[in-house]
Copies of this chain bind each other. A is one copy, B any other.
Amino acid sequence: MDAEQLRENAHKMVDFIADYYKNIETFPVLSQVEPGYLHKLLPDSAPTHPEPLQDVLDDVQAKILPGVTHWQSPDFFAYYPSNSSIAGFLGEMLSAGINMVGFSWITSPAATELEMIVLDWLARILKLPDEFLSTGQGGGVIQGTASEAVLVVLLAARDNVLRRVGKDALGKLVVYSSDQTHSALQKACQIVGVHPENCRVLKSDTHCDYALSPQSVDEAISSDIDAGLIPIFLCATVGTTSSTAVDPLLSLGKITKSYGIWFHVDAAYAGSACICPEYRHYIDGVEEADSFNMNAHKWLLTNFDCSALWVKDRSALIQALSTNPEFLKNKASQANMVVDYKDWQIPLGRRFRSLKLWMVLRLYGLDNLQSYIRNHIALAKHFEELIAQDPRFEVVSPRKFSLVCFRLLPPHKDDDSANKINHDLLDAVNSTGKIFISHTVLSGKYILRFAVGAPLTEERHIVSAWKVLQDEASALLSSL
């Protein structure tokens, strides 16, 4: 690690990456390689002697990039976005440069303290209640992903209850969500040992726009209590993965409070939109929540990974997740003068992730970040209008943020043929390499998802994408 060699080589890498962005529109968005393609291109073992950087960069260009699905392409509309930005990238560089492991305050006080400060900043931007600030009994923490966020709060909720009722009651614990809740909750339940038959996946439907019905939650909880079970946790979502449904936080929160169960709000994607006053109302009721999560790495220009989690009662997390081995003991921790984030998360080690979020907030400023969100939502609205002008298509659920759910209507409007033709249309457009979109199923309908959110996407990309969809639809319809 010679400073001058680092300088020379890293400058080369900067140019390589800048050129990648310059040419990003020339790649197929969705990689078109076949399974096992790379095995044929690389040797079976590591080299004995060093190889030049240029050889590696040539291999990245010739062998790796063809196997990359380009999430940063302006023509990427699949899943939800995973933003990269100059500020986020610089933050990643700096974090990798310092390369410290901030498990305890003492192992880099700045890492812990900047994380607390920056999550307070973001909490204030989102107008979260004061109980989520680090100045009280709660606070924010950066997790890797929303999956880890829901897992750690579920553990906190589980252990809060088991401490009271005894650990043999694990089989009686019940967790509530809707059929639109992210699969991360199911996985978290598997991990912490909540029995599958005690995971209440409440049905949502088109009548309530796929939001969770407070009445159904109330009824489920009440009936579980009657049956001798112990409700512990409700996960509500603001902006579901399939269709950006928004669960009614205020009503749900009042129910969870009346039963004394943990209320978690997953706003992984749509949380970013709530930095704009006109979208903030989607998280009205968050005052009632015990924990709130949004992914700055999705739609807030912060490179992956950066999932912001706030809790009102940090001690619940710490009781579930702390260990205190001798080799990590130190004065500041023993005196309870500091936060040790190792006790707020699954892993011990942790990166200096607050740097990139701090740099995003400072180098762009709130005004620009709001414009960024508004622009994507306007682009999605434009796409929705284009669909509405073509009678062969329909918008399936009302657009709230930057995701449009739509489908092609086949000549014979039965569900089976509609599902088949949309499945085929998805394949056809993704195979062109020109755009990448993904799908979901709602009430048995196969639906196409068009999620605007890549930083480079402009109006021309929306217009071209729509043209690709129309052309492939025409080809499919004419082949029927």
List A residues at the B interface (Cβ < 8 Å).
1-7, 9-11, 13-22, 30-31, 33, 35-39, 42, 44-51, 53, 55-56, 60, 63-72, 79, 82-86, 88-90, 92-94, 96-101, 105-111, 113-114, 116-117, 120-122, 124-125, 144-148, 151, 155, 159, 167-168, 170-171, 182-184, 186-187, 190-193, 195, 241-242, 297, 303-305, 320-321, 323-329, 331-332, 337-338, 346-349, 351, 355, 358-359, 361-368, 427, 438-441, 449, 455-456
Distance A82 CA – B365 CA, assembled complex (angstroms) = 33
Distance from A302 Cβ to chain B, minimum over Cβ atoms (Å): 10
Chain B neighbourhood of A144, CB < 8 A: 144, 347, 349
List 20 additional contacts besides A92-B93, A99-B304; criterion CB under 8 Å: A1-B72, A10-B93, A21-B97, A31-B110, A38-B109, A46-B122, A49-B365, A50-B364, A51-B362, A53-B90, A64-B110, A82-B99, A146-B348, A170-B193, A186-B323, A191-B192, A242-B326, A304-B351, A327-B439, A327-B440
Known contacts: A98-B68, A351-B305. The answer to whether A48 contacts B191 by CB under 8 A is no
Distance A15 CA – B90 CA, assembled complex (angstroms) = 12
B348 touches A147 (CB 8 A): yes
A363 touches B109 (CB 8 A): no
B48 touches A184 (CB 8 A): no
A-B contact pairs, 11 of them (CB 8 A): A4-B18, A6-B14, A39-B116, A42-B117, A44-B120, A46-B361, A68-B110, A72-B100, A144-B144, A242-B327, A329-B439
Chain B neighbourhood of A100, CB < 8 A: 68-72, 82
Q: Which residue of B lies closest to A65 (CB)?
A: B110
Chain B neighbourhood of A351, CB < 8 A: 304-305
Q: Which residue of B lies closest to A74 (CB)?
A: B1
Chain B neighbourhood of A332, CB < 8 A: 35
A13 touches B90 (CB 8 A): yes
B101 touches A97 (CB 8 A): no
Q: Which residue of B lies closest to A118 (CB)?
A: B46
Distance A21 CA – B70 CA, assembled complex (angstroms) = 33
Q: Give the contacting residue for A90; candidates B10, B55, B362; CB below 8 A.
A: B10
Distance A417 CA – B107 CA, assembled complex (angstroms) = 28
Distance A12 CA – B91 CA, assembled complex (angstroms) = 12
B6 touches A18 (CB 8 A): yes
Chain B neighbourhood of A367, CB < 8 A: 48-49
Chain B neighbourhood of A49, CB < 8 A: 365, 367-368
Shortest 8 CB-CB contacts between residues of A and residues of B: A67-B110, A7-B18, A92-B96, A17-B97, A84-B99, A38-B113, A193-B193, A145-B347
Distance from A18 Cβ to chain B, minimum over Cβ atoms (Å): 4
B191 touches A30 (CB 8 A): no
B84 touches A348 (CB 8 A): no
Q: Which of A83, A117, A151, A441 has the most C-beta atoms of chain B within 10 angstroms of its own C-beta?
A: A117
Chain B neighbourhood of A11, CB < 8 A: 11, 14
Q: Give the contacting residue for A69; candidates B3, B107, B362; CB below 8 A.
A: B107
Distance A42 CA – B10 CA, assembled complex (angstroms) = 30
B93 touches A96 (CB 8 A): yes
A113 touches B36 (CB 8 A): yes
Q: Which residue of B lies closest to A295 (CB)?
A: B349
A45 touches B3 (CB 8 A): no
B364 touches A89 (CB 8 A): no
Chain B neighbourhood of A97, CB < 8 A: 17, 20-21, 84, 89
Chain B neighbourhood of A449, CB < 8 A: 327
A362 touches B106 (CB 8 A): no
Distance from A368 Cβ to chain B, minimum over Cβ atoms (Å): 6
Q: Give the contacting residue for A48; candidates B39, B193, B323, B366; CB below 8 A.
A: B366
Distance from A230 Cβ to chain B, minimum over Cβ atoms (Å): 15
Distance from A165 Cβ to chain B, minimum over Cβ atoms (Å): 14
A326 touches B440 (CB 8 A): yes
Q: Which residue of B lies closest to A151 (CB)?
A: B346
Distance A16 CA – B6 CA, assembled complex (angstroms) = 11
Q: Give the contacting residue for A86; candidates B1, B48, B89; CB below 8 A.
A: B1
Known contacts: A1-B85, A323-B183, A365-B47. The answer to whether A17 contacts B21 by CB under 8 A is no
Chain B neighbourhood of A191, CB < 8 A: 155, 191-192, 321, 346
